[in-house]
A and B are shown apart, each in its own frame.
Chain A
Amino acid sequence: MNAFNIENQGNGIYNLIFDTPDEKVNKLTTEAFIELEKVIDDIGYIDDIKLLFFKSNKDGYFIVGADINEIANITDKKDAAQICERGLAIIKKIEDLPFPTVAVIDGVCMGGGLELALAFDYRISTDDKTTQIALPEVKLGIFPGLGGTQRLPRLIGLQRSLPLILSGKSVNGLKALKLNIVDACFHKEYLNYGLIKFADKIFNKSENIKRARRQKGVMNKFLENTSIGRSIVYRSAKKSLYKTTNGHYPAPLNALKVIKKGYKTSLDKGLKVETKHFADVVVGDVSKHLIRLFFISEALKKYNGIDTQNSYSRKKIDKVGVLGAGIMGAGISWILSKKDTDVLLKDINYDALSRGMSTCKKYYKYYIKSRKMKPAKVDMKMLNITGQTNYDGFKGTDIVIEAVFEDIDVKKQTLIDTEGSVGEDTIIASNTSSISITDMATALKSPERFIGMHFFNPVNRMPLVEVIPGNATSEETIVHTVNLAKQMGKVPVVVKDSPGFLVNRILLPYMNEAAYLMSEGVKPERIDKVIRAFGMPMGPLELFDEVGIDVAYKVSKIFDKELGERMQSASILNNIYEDAGLLGKKSGKGVYIYSKRDKKPNPVINQIVKDNGSVSGDNISDKEIEERIIYRMINEAVYCLQENIITDPEHLDMAMIIGTGFPPFRGGVLKYADNTGLDNILSTLKKYNDKYGIRFTPCELLSKYIDENKKICNI
């Protein structure tokens, strides 16, 4: 490798240029570090050097950070510590150079890239929109391990550095200047003039650049420079961390600890503390899980939805027809309008269209409020949606997404009308959560262009889209549909056409088991608490209320019929829905009673449980609650693999995480199963099978994995 070059610019100014050969970006790999050390040593021998600029030659990228593959492969704490120490030593060499050094940050500057830049005497940024500066390590379950937790707080203070380190958020070049991370910010186009100006400043000492970094204000001085002040800052940071992570994510907590311990000691001591804790975190499960999920999401970005090697020219989707201006249709239209795609939104009357348009506007209001968009911009985006009651213009659409009422006859009729109005290559997609794509396709003359696209509610926030090819759907249709979902900023996952598709099918036994537990006398709030403690964002009974008990009940009945006896719905649902008429949050009363601010248990549920003869579920342990609910979910997930609903276990894990909020720190449903031990899960399922019956009968594939001594997940 020949990634670093030294350039003599004259007048004692030298440029150190980082340009990794045959790569789009610069990464701090081990190899790069070794070469960097040599280059720094060489620079030390240059006699006439008065100033060093460190630049990247990659357009749009400074340094994207360390090599995540290398981090993923660290399994031993000693190795981890050694890697950090070697990196820190090299960075120290830069810090110790006897002449002024300047890192020129133009483009993405992440993680190790910023930690390296922090060792320079000065930093300069551009205000280009590619310039994003961050320490995003916590997103991968680790924290900055090359001095970031020590040098950044020393440079910009605790109050400013903590949010950057603990949340991993990124700032642009201008904001970096405001935070004093950089000492100057120039327009990209004028960067070279800026550098000359900056060099002059350093040579002439006309301005005390370092002095300008000091924070002003009495309050700041109190919070930064007194031990009482600092303890206030630490305490509030810790509190908000617990609020956002529930203590499930060790990296930010450790980072805070490291900062606290190292901040007011010597830099060397601080760095030692950092290395020690970094080694602990980097070999931990959570980090491995989050890195795995990062790899999966990167792979999904490249995924085109088909298994064969056939390639199809990418179709840019400019015009989309959306049928039905209900909550789903409006949500889909909104996303498309935001991405400046032309939308023809059709419904049967103008009142329905008005409601749909208002829904879209409501989603935009957040952008106006948070000043991410000006009202005039929003008005323009809204103009991307044309509301209409006929099929005018549908001939020119690239794809039509049907999102009408969830009824097979209504949908079939809509599809027939659509096929008669669209062009020859228009793809026809149906947004459905429960109707078979292959069944619907029978209504069409050319079923090969028909496909299912299951968006999750609320469409504006849920990133998952299940793409469901029917029996006759062509590969080309799949590829274009997957591309459209990506164009919309969604994460598409291809699943087989079968009842409930993937996510709902796995989710329903989980909800159903909670209902069984409730009917056995376990208090709903206890069930939800146990599952939230497991890491789910919401308990299963809260989820019943959220999706609507009527909806869950109906879906449950369908599954019961189509997927066999193990899906039999808890009879208590009959009492809750049919007898008591509880609907959930939308009517204010479900498993819980909802008031404006909070919710409390619904006494009706208690009564129903009593009437059914169950008195107390106190004899059921928290462990049993968790196992029964979560293991049914796992078992169903394995069923989905067995039935080829989805082929890639990694995709399944990602779908459950972004579709249901399954806790990322546990790695995913199947990863969690692997980690728990498939034999443990099998024996537990068998135990419950004996006690509670067929609901817990383990899937055959589970035993097969155990027999073959294999894990489910590939990575």
Chain B
Amino acid sequence: MTETTIESKRGTENEVLANLPWDANAPLLEVDNLQVEFHTRDGVAKAINGVSFTLDAGETLGILGESGCGKSVTAQAIMGILDIPPAKITGGSIKLNGVDLLQLDEKTRRHVRANKIAIIFQDALSALNPVFTVGWQLAELYRKHSGASRAQAKAKAVDLLKLVRIPAAEQRVNAFPHQFSGGMRQRVMIAMALALEPDIIIADEPTTALDVTVQAQVMQLLADLQKSQNMGLILITHDMGVVADVVDKITVMYAGDAVERADVYQIYERPAHPYTKALLESIPRVDMKGQELAAIKGLPPPLTQLPPGCSFQPRCRFAKDRCTTEDPPLYDVPGNRKSACHYWEEVFNS
């Protein structure tokens, strides 16, 4: 995959892309110490304070966290669709095959965005234009960036709908977004994301608005396509069940920090950060029936008033004095993992 990305196949747009200094040996995506601030009426909100991770082709990364933890902001920063202002990227890098996207000019960035990275949002209805048929929207997207003829583009639209397993694709291609059910619309969104054969797909809560039986269909489709097209998939979600089902590795976020990074099996078996541990414990389990759930006390801090030291410390049962003064770095944990907790060993062994 990494070799073929450099090859030019789409006119001037691709010439621009081909002239970028791609490094075939670099990871597909490498986010390093990314920092984003929002300037609000109440002051500066530190939405992301130093998030790092890598993603290789064919790999699925889960970004897990609750509302306001910065997981969607991370996605928007990678896509380059943050509203600036109020947002501001204050540090770090986002490297795609060795090219730092944050250093590119807006036009080049747009080309990269269109051809290399695609995003799927939670709300498919508002992401589709209600006045055009889904086929037209798919075909236009493809035609604009590939230079194909109208007929070719139309055929491609049908192919894409077939790819996402929409029944009777030849007829449905002429339907409008509101004529699709929620699950079908999300499939259309996936088709649009796949139209230009991206290297990376970012799925931001793709199934949160869907019912469980439909969610199962859509997640399975997404996982199958990711494997068959050998793409990198970033799955952003708050649902620990969905994550356990499909991803290879996880970054857990809390109040703008990546607090733990590990392989999916490791994290569920033996969390090394108190927040991850508490999250896993707060899920209702069968053997907990009739007992109190292990709730995490208190609330996440407002991003404008992060506490000194560790952000999770006010809610943490492992916290000691040191946590209130010293911001924990990402410690190395055996098994090529990371945890931002001074007392990770205690958590790990508890």
| A and B: bona fide binding partners | no
Contacts from B to A (Cβ < 8 Å): none
Contacts from A to B (Cβ < 8 Å): none
